[in-house]
Amino acid sequence: MAETIGRSGQKADWVRLALSRDAIMIYAVVVAVLFASLRLERFASTLTVGFLLLDLIPVLLIAMPMTLIIITGEIDLSVASIAGLSSAMMGTLWEDGFPIWLVIVVCLAIGLIAGAVNGILIAGLGLQSLAVTIGTLALYRGLALVVIGDNAVASFPAGLTSFTTSKLGNTGIPTVMIGVMVIVIMFAVVLHLTPFGRGLYAIGSAAEAASFVGIDVARVKIKLYVWCGGISALTGIYWTLRFSSARSDNASGLELTVIAAVLLGGVSIFGGKGSITGVVAAVGLIGTITYSLRLERVSDVVLIIVTGTLLIVSVVAPRIFEVISGARHRRKLSTQLAVDRSAITTHTRSTAHRKEE
């Protein structure tokens, strides 16, 4: 039954990999893309690719640090507000005549600070992240309003805004996608290939065991929130340039879309499980389905049903399988146990008897 370690497990590993959550997400994306390309003639075009990707970038960007945070068992609801705050700052500072590079640096710095505030409140003071980030969601969005009010600033350098929406040659792929991919790869590397990333999983599934191997749990969490603030601010800058408009309500409500994508990607809300691959696939899947239906003239606002249903199915379906296989397993076990138990009982009784004699 139990073998000593050898190569025997490897074949099973391949099967496991092929049936893993990540793999299933990838199949789903491939099927969705193929289906859309065959059924919708306008889908497989450079124009589609361009719009699809431009739309996906904010969710994809923020999903990266969010994945890491949820893997440690925490959450950050303030990301969209940080993006809004950075957008508002960008508009105001630019209007006040600061050079654009300085404006961008200041916006990023504000994101990092906002993230650090989250991190210190959560990991430093030990407050619940759900409650804290509901508070900072209101606070940061409020500060965005304070900064820019009802104004909308649109007069950003034309070179910069057109660069943001520019495409790589005639592929339809946005130029900024290169930067986004670099960030995605960086997060994937950090999570999956570094000692730091390994520690995140340990924190998420057993914080105590993590601290027993020398991981400073609070410091790691603060670091993640700082990163998350920085990436959210970057997203705010992208949003501002892409739509060429700095407003206080930019990206509002984005936090729930991001979290939905992360959870759909197989990251456990309890922490300890998940991968960047799954999350990227989930973002792609939501994007593809949404965009195809949009091409079919299904109204945008109705499309959120897709996101919602995918999310519910993705958490409920595995549970159903679990319950079914669990029941089967229990039935098997109980018949087996019944046999074992009678054997053990007679055994212990007879030995007990012998000793007493």
Partner 1 sequence: MSAQEISSTDIEAVLATGSRPTLMTAVKRLLTAREFPVTAALVALVLFTYANNQLFLSRQGVKDLLLNATIVILLAVGQSIVIISRNVDLSIGSILGLTAFATGTLFVNNPDIPIWAVFVIVSLFGALLGALNGLLVTVARVPALVITLGTLYVFRGFNNLWAGPTQYFADDRPDAFGDLSVDTVFGLPIITLGALLVVVIVAGFMGRTRRGRDLYAIGSDPTAALLFGVPVGRRVFLAFAVNGLLAGLAGVLYASRFNSVGATTGNGIELDVVAAAVVGGVAIFGGSGTVVGAAIGAMLLTTITSSLTTLRVDKFWQQAIVGVLILAAIAADRIVKLRAERRLQTSEAHHG
Partner 2 sequence: MEGKPPSTGNHGPALSLIGAVKTFGEVVALADGRVELRAGEILALIGENGAGKSTLVKILAGVHTPDSASFMVAGESVVFGSVADSKSAGISIIYQEPTLFPDLTVAENIYVGRQPKGAFGLIDRGRMRDDAAALFARLGVRIDPDRVAEGLSIADQQIIEIAKAISMHAQVLIMDEPTAALSGAEVDRLFEVVRGLRDEGAAIMFISHRFEEVFELCDRVTVMRDGRHVADHVTADVTIEELVLEMVGRDIDQLFPKQEAETGVVVLDVEGISAGSVFRDISFTVRAGEIVALAGLVGAGRTEVARAVFGIDRYEAGEIRVEGRALQSGSPQEAIDAGIAFVPEDRRKQGLVMEMSIQHNITLTLRDSLARFGLIRRPEESAAADDWAKRLQVKAGSMRHSVATLSGGNQQKVVLAKWLATNPKLLIVDEPTRGIDVGTKSEVHRLLSDLAVRGVAILMVSSELPEVLGMADRILVMREGRLTAEIDRVDATSENVMRAATTPVEVSVGA
Of 168 and 343, CB closest to partner 2: 343
- The C-alpha atoms of residue 28 and residue 129 are separated, in whole angstroms, by 32
Residue among 135 and 179 whose Cβ is closer to partner 1: 135
The DSSP secondary structure of 224-261, one letter per residue, reads HHHHHHHHHHHHHHHHHHHTT-B-TTTTTTHHHHHHHH
**Rule CB under 8 A: is residue 351 a binding residue for partner 1?**
no
Return the range that interacts with partner 2 (CB under 8 A); candidates 163-171, 189-197, 253-261, 280-288. Answer: 189-197
DSSP symbols for 176-233? HHHHHHHHHHHHHHHHHHSHHHHHHHHHHH-HHHHHHTT--HHHHHHHHHHHHHHHHH
Q: Which stretch binds partner 2 (CB under 8 A): 134-142, 253-261, 322-330, 337-345?
A: 337-345
Bin 326: left if φ > 0, else alpha if -120 < ψ < 50, else beta. alpha
Q: Say how far apart CA 136 and CA 145 lie, in whole Å.
A: 14
Binding letters toward partner 2, positions 212-251, x by CB under 8 A:
xxxxx-----------------------------------
Distance of alpha carbon 25 from its chain centroid, rounded? 14
d(CA 154, CA 150): 13
x-or-dash pattern for partner 2, window 60-99, by CB under 8 A?
A: ----------------------------------------
List 39, 328, 332, 349, residue binding partner 2 (CB under 8 A): 349
Q: State how far the Cα of 291 lies from the Cα of 308, in Å rounded to an integer.
A: 16
Determine, following the binding rule CB under 8 A, whether residue 272 of this chain makes contact with partner 2.
yes
Find the binding residues for partner 1 in span 258-297 (CB under 8 A): 259-260, 263, 269-270
* Piece of 25-33, 43-51, 91-99, 344-352 that binds partner 2 (CB under 8 A): 344-352
Residue 142 lies near partner 1 (rule: CB under 8 A): yes
Q: What three-state secondary structure class fits 77? A: coil
Q: Does 211 bind partner 2 (CB under 8 A)?
A: yes
Q: How many residues bind partner 2 (CB under 8 A)?
A: 39
Q: List residues binding partner 2 (CB under 8 A).
A: 2-5, 8-10, 12-13, 16, 189, 193-195, 198-199, 201-202, 205-206, 208-216, 272-273, 341, 344-345, 348-349, 351-352, 356
